[in-house]
Amino acid sequence: MKVSENLSGIKQRVEESARRSGRQAEDVKIIAVTKYVTTARAQEAIEAGILHLGENRAEGLNEKYEAIGEAAAWHFIGSLQTRKVKSIIDKVDYIHSLDRESLAKEINRRAEKTVRCFIQVNVSGEESKHGLPPQEVIPFIQSLHPYEKIQVCGLMTMAPLTEEKSVLRACFRKLALCREEVKALNLPYAPCNELSMGMSNDFELAVEEGATMIRIGTALVGE
Ligand SMILES: *Cc1c(COP(=O)(O)O)cnc(C)c1O
Protein backbone atom coordinates (compact mmCIF):
# COMPACT_ATOMS: atom_id res chain seq x y z
CA MET A 1 0.00 0.00 0.00
CA LYS A 2 1.07 3.54 -0.67
CA VAL A 3 1.77 5.63 2.39
CA SER A 4 -0.71 8.21 1.09
CA GLU A 5 -3.51 5.63 1.06
CA ASN A 6 -2.68 4.42 4.55
CA LEU A 7 -2.48 8.01 5.73
CA SER A 8 -5.90 8.97 4.47
CA GLY A 9 -7.44 5.95 6.23
CA ILE A 10 -5.68 6.80 9.48
CA LYS A 11 -6.68 10.46 9.25
CA GLN A 12 -10.28 9.47 8.80
CA ARG A 13 -10.17 7.21 11.86
CA VAL A 14 -8.49 9.98 13.90
CA GLU A 15 -11.26 12.34 12.84
CA GLU A 16 -13.97 9.90 13.91
CA SER A 17 -12.30 9.27 17.27
CA ALA A 18 -11.89 13.01 17.80
CA ARG A 19 -15.53 13.62 16.96
CA ARG A 20 -16.67 10.89 19.37
CA SER A 21 -14.80 12.54 22.21
CA GLY A 22 -15.52 16.18 21.37
CA ARG A 23 -11.99 16.92 20.22
CA GLN A 24 -10.49 18.39 17.05
CA ALA A 25 -8.51 16.11 14.73
CA GLU A 26 -6.08 19.02 14.14
CA ASP A 27 -5.01 18.68 17.77
CA VAL A 28 -3.59 15.23 17.08
CA LYS A 29 -0.21 15.06 15.35
CA ILE A 30 0.65 11.89 13.47
CA ILE A 31 4.24 10.72 13.85
CA ALA A 32 5.29 8.22 11.19
CA VAL A 33 7.48 5.66 12.93
CA THR A 34 10.00 4.63 10.30
CA LYS A 35 12.15 2.25 12.35
CA TYR A 36 11.20 -0.79 10.25
CA VAL A 37 11.45 0.79 6.83
CA THR A 38 13.91 2.28 4.37
CA THR A 39 14.83 5.91 3.91
CA ALA A 40 12.97 5.87 0.59
CA ARG A 41 9.79 4.82 2.37
CA ALA A 42 10.29 7.60 4.94
CA GLN A 43 10.66 10.03 2.04
CA GLU A 44 7.41 8.72 0.60
CA ALA A 45 5.76 9.56 3.93
CA ILE A 46 7.06 13.13 3.70
CA GLU A 47 5.70 13.40 0.16
CA ALA A 48 2.33 12.15 1.44
CA GLY A 49 2.26 15.12 3.81
CA ILE A 50 3.74 13.67 7.00
CA LEU A 51 5.57 16.33 9.02
CA HIS A 52 6.84 14.20 11.91
CA LEU A 53 9.14 11.18 11.81
CA GLY A 54 9.98 8.87 14.70
CA GLU A 55 12.96 6.56 15.14
CA ASN A 56 13.96 4.42 18.10
CA ARG A 57 17.66 4.00 17.38
CA ALA A 58 20.36 6.60 16.98
CA GLU A 59 21.76 4.83 13.90
CA GLY A 60 18.37 4.78 12.15
CA LEU A 61 17.75 8.40 12.94
CA ASN A 62 21.15 9.51 11.70
CA GLU A 63 20.84 7.56 8.49
CA LYS A 64 17.45 9.00 7.62
CA TYR A 65 18.31 12.48 8.83
CA GLU A 66 21.15 12.58 6.36
CA ALA A 67 18.71 12.21 3.46
CA ILE A 68 15.68 14.04 4.83
CA GLY A 69 17.14 16.66 7.19
CA GLU A 70 14.89 19.51 8.16
CA ALA A 71 12.03 18.41 5.91
CA ALA A 72 10.58 16.65 8.97
CA ALA A 73 10.45 17.20 12.71
CA TRP A 74 12.39 14.36 14.36
CA HIS A 75 11.17 12.36 17.32
CA PHE A 76 13.40 10.00 19.25
CA ILE A 77 10.97 7.42 20.62
CA GLY A 78 13.13 4.57 21.92
CA SER A 79 15.05 4.01 25.09
CA LEU A 80 18.07 6.26 24.79
CA GLN A 81 21.49 5.23 25.99
CA THR A 82 23.35 8.10 27.59
CA ARG A 83 26.35 7.61 25.32
CA LYS A 84 24.15 8.02 22.21
CA VAL A 85 22.83 11.45 23.20
CA LYS A 86 25.71 13.25 21.56
CA SER A 87 25.03 11.76 18.13
CA ILE A 88 21.36 12.78 17.94
CA ILE A 89 20.96 15.85 20.10
CA ASP A 90 21.37 18.46 17.38
CA LYS A 91 18.93 16.66 15.06
CA VAL A 92 15.96 15.81 17.26
CA ASP A 93 13.04 18.08 17.99
CA TYR A 94 11.54 15.82 20.65
CA ILE A 95 12.78 13.02 22.90
CA HIS A 96 9.93 10.77 24.05
CA SER A 97 11.83 8.62 26.48
CA LEU A 98 13.27 10.67 29.32
CA ASP A 99 13.14 8.39 32.35
CA ARG A 100 16.22 9.00 34.48
CA GLU A 101 18.30 11.84 35.82
CA SER A 102 21.57 10.65 34.27
CA LEU A 103 19.94 11.00 30.85
CA ALA A 104 18.62 14.47 31.69
CA LYS A 105 22.09 15.50 32.76
CA GLU A 106 23.65 14.32 29.51
CA ILE A 107 20.96 15.97 27.37
CA ASN A 108 21.51 19.19 29.27
CA ARG A 109 25.25 18.97 28.84
CA ARG A 110 25.15 18.29 25.10
CA ALA A 111 22.24 20.43 23.91
CA GLU A 112 22.80 23.86 22.43
CA LYS A 113 19.18 24.93 22.81
CA THR A 114 16.07 23.83 24.68
CA VAL A 115 15.08 20.20 24.06
CA ARG A 116 11.45 19.21 24.32
CA CYS A 117 11.24 15.97 26.28
CA PHE A 118 8.46 13.60 27.18
CA ILE A 119 8.67 11.68 30.41
CA GLN A 120 8.12 8.01 29.61
CA VAL A 121 5.69 6.45 32.04
CA ASN A 122 5.20 2.75 32.60
CA VAL A 123 1.50 2.93 33.39
CA SER A 124 0.80 -0.78 33.09
CA GLY A 125 3.64 -1.81 35.39
CA GLU A 126 4.84 -4.53 33.01
CA GLU A 127 8.42 -5.39 33.82
CA SER A 128 9.44 -5.48 30.18
CA LYS A 129 8.51 -1.84 29.71
CA HIS A 130 10.72 1.18 30.14
CA GLY A 131 9.57 4.26 31.94
CA LEU A 132 8.80 5.49 35.42
CA PRO A 133 5.93 4.22 37.53
CA PRO A 134 3.22 6.90 37.73
CA GLN A 135 3.90 7.75 41.37
CA GLU A 136 7.50 8.67 40.53
CA VAL A 137 6.67 11.09 37.74
CA ILE A 138 6.18 14.21 39.83
CA PRO A 139 9.28 13.79 42.02
CA PHE A 140 11.28 13.07 38.87
CA ILE A 141 10.02 16.20 37.12
CA GLN A 142 10.81 18.25 40.22
CA SER A 143 14.34 16.87 40.13
CA LEU A 144 14.79 18.25 36.59
CA HIS A 145 14.77 21.82 37.81
CA PRO A 146 18.56 22.33 37.49
CA TYR A 147 18.66 21.22 33.86
CA GLU A 148 17.78 24.47 32.16
CA LYS A 149 17.83 23.11 28.60
CA ILE A 150 15.13 20.53 29.29
CA GLN A 151 11.52 21.37 28.73
CA VAL A 152 9.03 18.74 29.83
CA CYS A 153 6.53 19.08 26.99
CA GLY A 154 4.43 16.06 27.96
CA LEU A 155 4.10 12.45 29.01
CA MET A 156 4.53 9.33 26.88
CA THR A 157 3.45 5.75 27.36
CA MET A 158 3.27 2.44 25.54
CA ALA A 159 0.10 0.53 26.29
CA PRO A 160 0.27 -3.18 27.08
CA LEU A 161 0.01 -5.59 24.20
CA THR A 162 -3.62 -6.55 24.45
CA GLU A 163 -6.82 -6.32 22.46
CA GLU A 164 -8.81 -5.56 25.59
CA LYS A 165 -10.22 -2.11 25.12
CA SER A 166 -10.95 -1.53 28.78
CA VAL A 167 -7.32 -2.21 29.69
CA LEU A 168 -6.02 0.07 26.95
CA ARG A 169 -8.45 2.84 27.80
CA ALA A 170 -7.58 2.66 31.50
CA CYS A 171 -3.90 2.98 30.63
CA PHE A 172 -4.41 6.07 28.46
CA ARG A 173 -6.75 7.61 30.99
CA LYS A 174 -4.21 7.17 33.73
CA LEU A 175 -1.54 8.94 31.69
CA ALA A 176 -3.95 11.81 31.02
CA LEU A 177 -4.66 12.13 34.77
CA CYS A 178 -0.97 12.10 35.50
CA ARG A 179 -0.51 14.97 33.04
CA GLU A 180 -3.15 17.01 34.87
CA GLU A 181 -1.23 16.55 38.10
CA VAL A 182 1.97 17.76 36.46
CA LYS A 183 0.26 20.75 34.88
CA ALA A 184 -1.17 21.70 38.27
CA LEU A 185 2.38 22.19 39.57
CA ASN A 186 2.73 25.17 37.20
CA LEU A 187 6.43 24.63 36.73
CA PRO A 188 7.77 26.96 34.03
CA TYR A 189 9.99 24.21 32.62
CA ALA A 190 7.20 21.62 32.58
CA PRO A 191 4.15 22.92 30.67
CA CYS A 192 3.30 19.29 29.95
CA ASN A 193 0.64 19.98 27.33
CA GLU A 194 1.29 16.90 25.21
CA LEU A 195 0.29 13.27 25.53
CA SER A 196 2.28 10.89 23.32
CA MET A 197 0.21 7.71 23.25
CA GLY A 198 -1.38 5.43 20.69
CA MET A 199 0.22 3.14 18.11
CA SER A 200 -1.08 1.16 15.10
CA ASN A 201 -3.34 -1.07 17.17
CA ASP A 202 -4.69 1.34 19.72
CA PHE A 203 -4.52 4.91 18.41
CA GLU A 204 -8.28 5.41 18.21
CA LEU A 205 -8.73 4.79 21.93
CA ALA A 206 -5.70 6.97 22.64
CA VAL A 207 -7.23 9.85 20.67
CA GLU A 208 -10.51 9.43 22.54
CA GLU A 209 -8.58 9.71 25.80
CA GLY A 210 -6.67 12.85 24.78
CA ALA A 211 -3.57 11.88 22.79
CA THR A 212 -1.94 14.89 21.10
CA MET A 213 0.70 12.81 19.33
CA ILE A 214 0.18 9.30 18.03
CA ARG A 215 3.12 7.16 16.90
CA ILE A 216 2.22 4.98 13.94
CA GLY A 217 4.57 2.53 12.26
CA THR A 218 3.03 -0.64 10.85
CA ALA A 219 -0.35 0.79 9.82
CA LEU A 220 1.20 3.81 8.08
CA VAL A 221 4.55 2.93 6.51
CA GLY A 222 4.53 -0.84 7.02
CA GLU A 223 6.66 -3.31 8.90
C1 LIG B 1 7.69 0.81 17.12
C2 LIG B 1 7.09 1.85 17.98
C3 LIG B 1 5.88 2.47 17.64
C4 LIG B 1 5.07 2.10 16.41
O5 LIG B 1 4.53 0.83 16.52
P6 LIG B 1 3.45 0.25 15.50
O7 LIG B 1 2.71 -0.75 16.29
O8 LIG B 1 4.20 -0.33 14.36
O9 LIG B 1 2.57 1.38 15.08
C10 LIG B 1 5.41 3.46 18.49
N11 LIG B 1 6.08 3.82 19.60
C12 LIG B 1 7.24 3.25 19.96
C13 LIG B 1 7.92 3.70 21.20
C14 LIG B 1 7.79 2.24 19.17
O15 LIG B 1 8.94 1.67 19.54
How many other C-beta atoms can be found within 10 angstroms of the C-beta atom of residue 208? 20
DSSP state of 74: E
Please state, in angstroms and rounded to a whole number, the distance separating the CA atoms of residues 187 and 123. 22
- Report residue 124's pLDDT band, with 50, 70 and 90 as the boundaries: confident
For residues 15 and 191, what is the distance between their CA atoms, to the nearest angstrom?
26
d(CA 174, CA 54): 24
CA atoms within 13 Å, Cβ hemisphere of 21: 20
Whole-angstrom Cα distance, residue 207 to residue 22?
Answer: 10
- Ligand 1 proximity of 154 Cβ (cutoff 6 Å): no
The number of angstroms, rounded, from the C-alpha of 55 to the middle of its chain's C-alpha atoms is: 10
Indicate which atom in ligand 1 lies nearest the CA of residue 203.
9
The Å distance, Cα 128 to ligand 1 centre, comes to 15
pLDDT surpassing 90 at residue 137: yes
What is the crossing angle of helices 39-47 and 3-20, to 10°?
60
Q: What are the pLDDT digits (tens) for 202-212?
A: 999 999 999 99
pLDDT band at 128 (very low <50, low <70, confident <90, very high): confident
Q: What is the pLDDT of residue 126?
A: 84
In degrees and rounded to multiples of 5, residue 194 shows phi and psi of: -100, 150
Whether 56 lines ligand 1, by a CB cut-off of 6 Å, is yes
Residue 153 DSSP symbol? E
The mean per-residue pLDDT over the stretch 132-156 comes to 98
CATH numbers and ranges of domains, the chain = 3-221 (3.20.20.10)
pLDDT tens for residues 9-44? 999 999 999 999 999 999 999 999 999 999 999 999
| pLDDT higher than 90, residue 199 | yes
Q: Would you say residue 57 has pLDDT above 90?
A: yes
- Please give the distance, rounded to the nearest whole angstrom, from the Cα atom of residue 188 to the centre of ligand 1: 30
pTM above 0.85, yes or no: yes
How far does the centroid of ligand 1 lie from the alpha carbon of residue 173, in Å? Answer: 19
* Per-residue pLDDT tens digits for 150-194: 999 999 999 999 999 999 999 999 999 999 999 999 999 999 999
- Per DSSP, the three-state class of 76 is strand
Question: What confidence tens digit (pLDDT) does each residue in 90-112 have?
Answer: 999 999 999 999 999 999 999 99
Is the CB of 75 inside a 6 Å radius of any atom of ligand 1? no
Please name the amino acid found at residue 216: I
